[in-house]
């Protein structure tokens, strides 16, 4: 399979390759949550996954500020949503969590400074930060992250945003391994 359409990669792995899943593989697309999940994933994709890029590649001040406001409106919504549930859709990890995690894992290391998404850091949003650490500490999430490679890619490739090519040392990656307390939810 060759594709760069990331929403369909995980969709196809779940639906088209189900016969090859491990018996204890999670149900990432639960039937009873699918309609709400599609709405959540659409908002995550449009406002967060793409929102950081709208900020980072804005061509003028007004476009940047509009993108910034949209991004942080969505992050505030997610912060509120995660106040009383462990995962986006409730008690179990779903496709919605996977799609959000990819942006959250890069937020403080790249998007906060490099893309000027700097109202606050992810680590300053208690529910989102706990949620992100919870996922990071789940097998299959954090063990796929190489922060040095992520930072090197963004800070070196985007010469128009970072002409010096300087790659920041921080943030402290060990913070991803601190207790998150979300199992109480």
Q: Is 50 exposed, middle or buried (0-12, 13-18, 19+ CB in 10 A)?
A: middle
Architecture in CATH of 46-184: Up-down Bundle (1.20)
Average pLDDT, the chain: 93
Q: What percent of the chain has pLDDT over 70?
A: 97
Across the range 153-179, mean pLDDT stands at 95
Domain boundaries of the chain, sorted by first residue: 46-184
Q: How far, rounded to the nearest angstrom, does the alpha carbon of residue 130 sit from its chain's CA centroid?
A: 13
Least Cα distance to 103 among 90, 120, 122 occurs for 122
Q: Is the pLDDT of residue 2 over 80?
A: no
CA separation for the pair 43, 71 (Å, rounded): 10
DSSP state string for 1-24: -----HHHHHHHHHHTSGGGS-TT
For residues 123-149, give the mean pLDDT: 97
DSSP 8-state symbol, 107: I
d(CA 22, CA 3): 23
Question: In this predicted model, which residue has the larger pLDDT, 36 or 14?
Answer: 36
pLDDT in tens, 101-112: 999 999 999 999
CA gyration radius, the chain: 17
Q: Given this model, what pLDDT does residue 46 score? A: 96
Q: What pLDDT digit, counting tens, does each position of 30-51 carry?
A: 999 999 999 999 999 999 999 9
In the prediction, which pLDDT does 178 show? 98
Residue 183: both structure tokens together: 């199992």
Q: Any alpha helices (H) in 44-144, and if so which ranges?
A: 51-56, 61-81, 95-106, 112-114, 126-136
List, for residues 73-101, the tens digit of each pLDDT value.
Answer: 999 999 999 999 999 999 999 999 999 99
pLDDT for residue 10? 74
Residue 9, pLDDT score: 73
pLDDT at res. 73: 98
Percent of the chain with pLDDT over 90: 84
């Amino acid at each position: 399979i060759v594709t760069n359409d990331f929403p369909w990669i995980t969709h196809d792995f779940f639906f088209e390759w189900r016969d090859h899943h491990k018996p204890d593989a999670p149900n990432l697309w639960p039937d009873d949550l699918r309609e709400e999940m599609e709405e959540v994933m659409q908002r995550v994709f449009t406002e967060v996954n793409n929102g950081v890029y709208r900020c980072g590649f804005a061509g003028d001040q007004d476009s940047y500020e509009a993108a910034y406001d949209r991004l942080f409106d969505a992050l505030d919504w997610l912060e509120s949503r995660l106040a009383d549930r462990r995962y986006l859709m409730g008690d179990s990890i779903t496709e919605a969590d996977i799609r959000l995690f990819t942006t959250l894992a890069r937020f403080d290391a790249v998007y906060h400074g490099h893309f000027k998404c700097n109202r606050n850091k992810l680590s300053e949003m208690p529910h989102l930060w706990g949620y992100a650490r919870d996922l990071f500490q789940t097998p299959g999430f954090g063990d796929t992250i190489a922060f040095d490679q992520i930072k090197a890619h963004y800070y070196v490739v985007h010469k128009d945003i970072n002409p010096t090519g300087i790659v920041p040392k921080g943030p402290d990656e060990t913070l991803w391994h601190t207790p998150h307390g979300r199992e109480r939810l």
